[in-house]
Chain A
Amino acid sequence: MTTVNDGEPGAVATTASRPRGAHPLLTFLAKRVAVTAGLLLGVTVVTFGLVNVVPGDPVTANLSDQALNDPAAVAAFREKWGLDQPLWAQYLHYLGNLLHGDLGHSQQTGRAVLDDLLHYVPATLELALPSMVLALLIGTGVGMLAAVRNGRLTDQLVRVGALLGLSTPPFWLSLVVLYVFFYQLGLAPSGGRLSTDFSPPPTVTGMYTVDGALAGQWDVAWDAAQHLSLPVLVLTSLTVAMLVRFVRSAMLEVLQQDYIRAAYAKGLPTRVVLRRHLLRAGLVPVVTVSGLAFASLLSGTVLVESIFGWPGVGQYAYRSATALDLPAILGVSLFVALVYTLVNLTVDLLYGLIDPRIRLS
């Protein structure tokens, strides 16, 4: 990288050198993939252990009373799912299948867990993506506004709003939103992903709005978007409430920096100072929180998904857990672990993109 010598005695020239060999980004990524693999292995051990330690028998959870009274049926169930084998054998067997991309079959749906995930994850993604994008835009804008108007009426209003949003239970907000926009105003459908008159568009991404648009079925896409509106509204407000306070304090800290005063002292218009100088610097800590928020949206929001009848990861996880559906629980756990590591990786890469000082170290 650039090396600039001071030309003055006693001056220390900063040299930022790149290690020879592989591109630092590639080295970084390779390390992260290795760490991720180790992490996922750890997740399988912990989940597998936990699920088997938890009191409760998959047999009683899955078989009817009548079948439970039939020893042959119980034995058949145990044998079918490998429950008659010692725990370590069950684990190794599971791990071996996992390496082949086989997550096992859900005891509940009877389908391959992978297929289940491929069905439920896009539904959750369709909720999480627009919620996150909207929350980021609104949260950053409102948080910045509160920071710039520090202590004044706008700031106080934002503070109260964020506090209200944070202390509102998601299920309650969902019910209120349903009552107002569906029951009273009739502006939005009550739940589900599509109206009964439509059938899902041909699967490409699994997200009905995108797939509908790709297939040119605009009426389907529009109907899917309408179904998205209320749950997205709820998830966006909750995420905004979480982000705003954080953005505000991050921006307040940047506002006190000399380089912001220096930007004003150059005679730049306020909007340029805020957009170019403040936003950029204040974004670094915001990226971390946004990553966590996005990961938690992706891992499924059980209550919101339940109320809006949304067949997403949250609902799948909830139903698998109550049925002690081991393969499904393990599958969801792996998915959540993967989401968190991927989001963290993205956050780290974004850091480097925003702050050149991080890029080099």
Chain B
Amino acid sequence: MAPLLDVDSLAVTLPSPRGPLPILHDVSLTVDEGELVGIAGESGCGKSLTAQTLLGLLPPGAAVTGSARYAGTELLGLDARGWQRVRGAGIAMVFQDPSAALHPMLTVGRQLTEHMRVHLRMDRRAAGRRAVELLDQVRIPDPERALRAYPHQFSGGMRQRVAIAIALAARPRLLIADEPTTALDVTVQAGILALLERLRAETGLAVAFITHDLGVLSALTTRGYIFYAGRVVETGPTGSLLTAPTHPYTAALLGARPHGTQTGATLRPIPGAPPAPGEAPPGCPFQPRCGYAEPSCGEAPPPLTPAGVDRSVACVVRPHLEVAA
């Protein structure tokens, strides 16, 4: 079966005052129907830009090459009408900060039903009924009343539930969640994650979950992509990816992660900082920060090559990596 989303060799260049700035390089990834896929990496690595590309929300002047097929349709190069059909009804998005992503001056009901009426051709009453069901589904108490309320009348966690209900309203098959729990309390985060997993199980929704938190990645997703400086450096089933990383960056990320209960364990911060866009070294982008770098690493960015069951890694050295317990 062909994957629901098939991104192949995607590259995005953004305009800047100092000329075109390449942000994404040769990104390939797939999401199957009903699958929960994680995309992880440090901030600025191109995770969010990938999401924007898949919804056609790039700023004007951005140049995109490669291919991104959703349900067999090529997304890149769609016209305005084509995008309108895909957005909301095919691919939907949940943003990082629900306080910023909900319109402060429109009622929850309005924001929940307006695209339903466009995509599902529902009349006001049918859309209203579905809105109540959706709010119920994301566990908002007293849905009828919530429809008439404004976003500021809800707490942060509730706002994100509302945002998820809005994203689901026009029956999308793929939900892109861009760090949907980063702006929330840790305790609220667990509820949102459980909700996404439940929606996947109940409705067959595919979810691409963007996060910088490897803990969230392992708790929620079955497959993961590790991004670094606009490239996929490693991919595979989340379990094996995080217990037996083959890319030094993945291992370093794991080592830099605090463990909740373990006291006295040494955190190993990754030396240096990720390269700014346009300033990546000619070879492997991680090479300046990598403890295993060899002279050949500086020649060309290593391609993603198969390494074990369902796994790929972009590293020519492939050192034996100690994994933090």
Contact = CB atoms under 8 A, between A and B. Distances in A.
B187 A258 contact: no
| Interface-central residue, B87, B104, B155, by most chain A CB under 10 Å | B155
Contact of A265 (B55, B85, B150, B152): B55
Nearest to B166: A266
A356 B152 contact: yes
Contacts of B158: 4, 6, 11, 13
Contact of A267 (B102, B115, B185): B115
Given A8-B187, A258-B95, A267-B86, A2 B141 contact: no
B153 interface: yes
- How would you classify the secondary structure of chain A's contact residues: helix, strand, loop or mixed? loop
B154 A277 contact: no
A262 B152 contact: no
A263 interface: yes
B153 A265 contact: no
A354 B150 CA distance: 12
Interface string B86-110: 1111001101010011111110000
A257 B149 contact: no
A11 B185 contact: yes
B84 interface: yes
B43 to A, nearest CB: 16
Contacts of A261: 57, 95, 101
A280 B153 contact: no
A261 B101 CA distance: 8
B149 A4 contact: yes
B101 A262 contact: yes
B282 interface: no
A259 B101 contact: yes
Interface in B265-302: none
A19 interface: no
| Interface-central residue, A1, A8, A14, A264, by most chain B CB under 10 Å | A8
Interface in B48-86: 55, 57, 80, 83-86
Contact of B157 (A6, A263, A276): A6
B100 A257 contact: yes
A280 B105 contact: yes
A204 to B, nearest CB: 38
B145 interface: yes
A9 B141 contact: no
10 interchain residue pairs of minimum CB distance? A267-B88, A267-B87, A10-B187, A258-B100, A266-B115, A266-B88, A2-B149, A258-B101, A259-B103, A356-B150
Interface of B: 55, 57, 80, 83-89, 92-93, 95, 97, 100-106, 114-115, 118-119, 139-142, 145-146, 148-150, 152-158, 163, 166-167, 169-170, 185-188, 191
21 contacts: A2-B145, A2-B149, A2-B153, A4-B153, A4-B154, A7-B139, A8-B191, A9-B187, A10-B185, A10-B188, A11-B187, A13-B158, A261-B95, A265-B88, A265-B93, A266-B87, A267-B84, A267-B88, A270-B80, A276-B106, A357-B105
